[in-house]
Amino acid sequence: MYRLSFLCSFLEVKGLSSLGRFIIRRTLSIIPMVLLIVAINFFIIHLAPGNPAQLISGLEQPSPEVIEALEEQYGLNQPLIVQLGLYYRNIFQGNLGYSFIYGTSVNGLIFERAGATILLTVTAAIIAFIIGTLIAVWVGRRKTKVLDSIFSVLAYIFYAMPSFWLALVLILTFSSTFKLFPTSGMFNVRESYEGFAKIGDVLYHLALPCATLALIQIPVFFRVTRSSIDQVHQDEYITTFTAIGISRKKIFKKYVLKNAILPTITIFGLTLGYAISGAALVEIVFAWPGMGRLMLDAVFRRDYNLLLGIYFVMAVCICLAILITDIVYALVDPRIRY
Amino acid sequence: MTAENRISLSRHENKLTKSVKMYLRDIKGVIGLFILLVFIVMAIFAPVIAPYSPDTMTDDVLQSPSLNHLFGTDHLGRDLFSRVIFGTRISLSVGFVAAGLSAIIGVFIGSFSGYYGGATDDIISKVIDTFLMIPAFFLILIIVSIFGSNIMYIMLVIGLTTWPRNARLMRAQALSIKEKTFITVARSTGESNMRILFGHVIPNGIFPVIANSALQMGGAILTEASLSFIGLGDPNLTSWGKLIYQGRPYMTYAPWTIVIPGIFVVLAVLAFSFIGDGLQFTFNPKNKGEK
Amino acid sequence: MPLLQMKNVDINYRMKKNEVKAVRDFTLDINERDIVGIIGESGSGKSTLAHGLMRILPRNGYMKASEIKLNNKDILNISDEEFRELRWIEMSIVFQKAMSALSPVHKIFDQMYDTILAHKPQVSRNEAEEKLSKLLEIVNLPKKTLNMYPHELSGGMMQRVMISLGLIFNPKLVILDEVTTALDVITQGQLLDEIKRLVNEFKLTVMMITHDVGVVNEVCTKIAILYAGELLEYGNVKDIIFEPFNPYTQALVESHPDLNPEGSTLKGIPGILPDLINPPESCIFYDRCKYRKDICKNGKPELQDYKGRKVKCFRVGELHG
């Protein structure tokens, strides 16, 4: 008896460590991607017309002190390869540089805004996942041609919509006409709510931008789940269960669903990753104080260091989203061996 | 032409008519093609169709749609219908040129990588995978904002950032085609690798890239519209996205200025995704024969 | 008293413009404790027949018959719900592709327990576990198999799981649909021995669908030869393999290496399967038959009793008199 329990605990530790190894392996595999993104940033700076120092500073006429500081930090007088090395070093020390236009560090600027973006995109992705999957399951269950056609055409239409345009149309409908929701911002600036009132206020402001993003992502989940359900219906174990005499309802609820929804988890991660960059336009329309809004400002004020910093952070967010999805998927699907 | 050649040619034609028939069976594909044809006619005959010059300003500002001005007028009194018609030219050409460029790059890199295999392939496919994960829109935005928003740049940058998906499709095709008997035969008759690549591998494996290109045309139109919307469109040209950008300040009292151009973007993207899915359906070996 | 009676069974598949008549006018009685090998090439309709019996035809398939009785009970004209109740209790089926015959993301125990619950909802988890581990033991699988996922087992092991699944309610009739086809020769041999043992232990009546005459020869007592959807010959295995009456059976037996007396050469059967959308009005094997005469062209031969078996051939009396 003692020996048995010992064996069990040993197996468990071994299982954990193999999962740990899997996670480490997946994490290592995103490193080349991060390196590539940094390299792209670097080459953009050097391929751009004009003086790199001027570009990084974002100033028309940077003062000699600024140029000197930049040359020092980025080694602008040294060979290109050394510069690339220095650029990597800066980034991996977590230093995205200094925004001369805002007069503060890029890290700080981004950090301030990241929360709003994450709140918006994660909420939207979760809502889209739930609604899209539910519709697909509902339609897949009924197998009525009309219903199926209606939803698949709707999916095509919403998928074809530019996010910013849908945002404007929602503002026209729900804010201008029905005056149901606010058109911009994250808080009511005239009031200073505390506690639950504050949360309610944020949710109230979140409604339209979140709806915009969700409406565009629902078709993705709908289509993936829908075709996944169709595919599972053709799988041979469904025939087995029918032959056994397990009720249709149970076959669908227990076996079709689990087999069909697993692949959508992967899509969830990807969509979440891209939503972070896709949200930018929606943030701009709703003046949502996230990274997208910051990015637009950076474009117009020609604050390239800030722009590149945002790009880097977003790319890393996408990597992380994909990484987390991979790990969750490996945990949920017994077929993945790590 | 030898008899053998003629036979293979007629067989090829047969395959083509079969594919066309197959495509026409899918109602979505037919609708998509129809919308696209209408747009192409609009783009080519814009000066004939448009009732007014798109740039003539009048005192009739922000008029709502009427018989005189089908889509109303904008804040400078220009006829929106005419502007939308002329906008078709810009939006469609962005779609065609950008996706075309993306297809060409993707086909070259993908077929090369898949056909030669080995270490080259390993590296190239890693690069493809990595590029696939990078958010393309942001890269495009940064490059355009640094290098300038000339329409040529915009098309070029979209093409240069969206090729990895085509490359991946082409690579998979090349990998499977190079194992086929006719490639072995061609090799044993001493045909050069380049001839095999361009004469056999690419022509036989390009279909998925064509289908994907249709989808990417829609994507390019969306990207251009988004750039225009944040003010990074070509300052000298008026695309649909630009029209939305220009209409936005007046949207509460003149909603047509943004709603109508947006509908055109949706229709174009919809048409391209119908066509792309239709093509995918046609070329999917699973669908041969039944249904 | 036959256990399974089938009379004039037709199974068709609806296509876009026409119908494929996959099984035509199939009449056969299977007696209790018989082990019937249903043999035919691919496209002969043998699996279709099994799926039709189990009511698991694909959506475009449908079955007509004048009578199908199991254990003297009509199973043709009963509702789907009535049929559902007797599934697996009265008859079960084991499929060819064992690896994909169970859900890949559920444990084997869950799927076997659901099988029990489908017919005996009052059985508790513990009772089920006890019953199932015994059952697995019978097919020589360890108890821990219950807690595994399908992909963790080999093809042979999965096939044993599927067989034990089919035996859960100890049904009278078990249909084995090409159960050994996907396995390697050694595993195949082991599994056939296992099947022989189980047939005795569980007193089973078996319908064994296969394209391999060797398998039939090893396991079965009766053999039914199916060609392009029609039954051509039925009788004792030993008799038929020793002296096939129908020319197609003869060709089939001759083409099997293990059953050939030394010295005779292997022969394939020249020609292709007839069109099943518009089946010929003649004898179905006419095009490929080396004994064909003009009489074979006019109409279809009846399935007649001849020397203790059933044969469908115009010239049987002439050739084997």
A176 in contact with chain B, both atoms CB, cutoff 8 A = yes
Report the range of poorest mean pLDDT among A4-13, A78-87, B254-263, C95-104: A4-13
A249 in contact with chain C, both atoms CB, cutoff 8 A = no
Q: Which of A30, A37, A55, A168 to mutate to test the interface with B (most CBs of B within 10 A)?
A: A168
The CA distance from A135 to the nearest CA of chain C, in Å, is: 23
The DSSP line for B7-56 is HHHHHHHHHHHHHHHHHHT-HHHHHHHHHHHHHHHHHHTHHHH-SS-TT-
Average pLDDT over residues C77-104: 92
Can you tell me the distance from the alpha carbon of C280 to that of C287, in angstroms, rounded to the nearest whole number? 10
| Every domain of chain A and the residues it spans | 114-165+214-333
Q: Which residues pair with A284 in a beta bridge?
A: none
B291 contacts in chain C (CB < 8 Å): 16
Q: What is the pLDDT of residues A269-324, one digit of tens each?
A: 878 877 777 788 999 999 999 988 888 888 888 888 888 888 888 888 888 888 88
Residue A161 has pLDDT above 70, yes or no: yes
Q: Which chains would you list as touching B if contact means 3+ CB atom pairs under 8 Å? A: A, C
Chain A, residues 149-168, CB within 8 A of chain B, namely 156-157, 159-165, 168
Q: Which chains would you list as touching C if contact means 3+ CB atom pairs under 8 Å? A: A, B
Which of A172, A299, A318 is facing B133, going by the closest CB pair? Answer: A318
Nearest CA in chain C to A239: C56
The domain defined by B28-43+81-284 folds into MetI-like fold (1.10.3720)
Q: Which of C60, C75, C107, C114 to mutate to test the interface with A (most CBs of A within 10 A)?
A: C114
Residue C279 has pLDDT above 80, yes or no: yes
Looking at residue B291, what is its pLDDT? 34
The DSSP line for A31-100 is HHHHHHHHHHHHHHHHHSSS-HHHHHHT-SS--HHHHHHHHHHHTTTS-HHHHHHHHHHHHHTT---EET
Q: Which of B94, B127, B141, B227 to mutate to test the interface with A (most CBs of A within 10 A)?
A: B141
Residue C225 has pLDDT above 90, yes or no: yes
- Between the alpha carbon of residue B181 and those of residues B12, B185, B188, the distances in Å are 18, 6, 11
Nearest CA in chain C to A263: C105
Average pLDDT over residues A189-214: 83
Chain B, residues 9-28, CB within 8 A of chain A, namely 28
Q: Which residue has the higher pLDDT, A132 or C261?
A: A132
Q: Which residue has the tokens 């899209």?
A: A132
C84 contacts in chain A (CB < 8 Å): 245, 247
Can you tell me the distance from the alpha carbon of C78 to that of B150, in angstroms, rounded to the nearest whole number? 74
A104 in contact with chain B, both atoms CB, cutoff 8 A = no
Average pLDDT over residues A100-117: 88
Looking at residue B5, what is its pLDDT? 45
Q: What is the pLDDT of residues C138-176, one digit of tens each?
A: 998 999 999 999 999 998 899 999 999 999 999 999 999
In contact, B102 and B216? CB cutoff 8 Å = yes
C277 in contact with chain B, both atoms CB, cutoff 8 A = no
The CA distance from B291 to the nearest CA of chain C, in Å, is: 7
| Every domain of chain B and the residues it spans | 28-43+81-284
Q: Please name the amino acid found at residue C274.
A: P
In CATH, the architecture of A114-165+214-333 is: Orthogonal Bundle (1.10)
What is the maximum alpha-carbon separation in chain B? 75
Alpha helices, DSSP H, located in chain B = 3-24, 27-44, 46-49, 80-116, 118-133, 136-147, 151-177, 181-188, 193-196, 202-205, 207-229, 240-247, 256-283
> What separation, in Å, do the N-terminal and C-terminal C-alpha atoms of chain C show?
30
Can you tell me the distance from the alpha carbon of A35 to that of C198, in angstroms, rounded to the nearest whole number? 62
B255 contacts in chain A (CB < 8 Å): 172, 176
In contact, B247 and B260? CB cutoff 8 Å = no
pLDDT confidence bin for B242, thresholds 50/70/90? very high
Which one, of B218, B239, B236, B220, lies nearest residue B228 by Cα? B239
- Between the alpha carbon of residue C17 and those of residues A54, A87, C58, C275, the distances in Å are 72, 67, 17, 15
In contact, C41 and C248? CB cutoff 8 Å = no
What is the radius of gyration, based on Cα positions, of chain A? 25
B134 in contact with chain A, both atoms CB, cutoff 8 A = yes
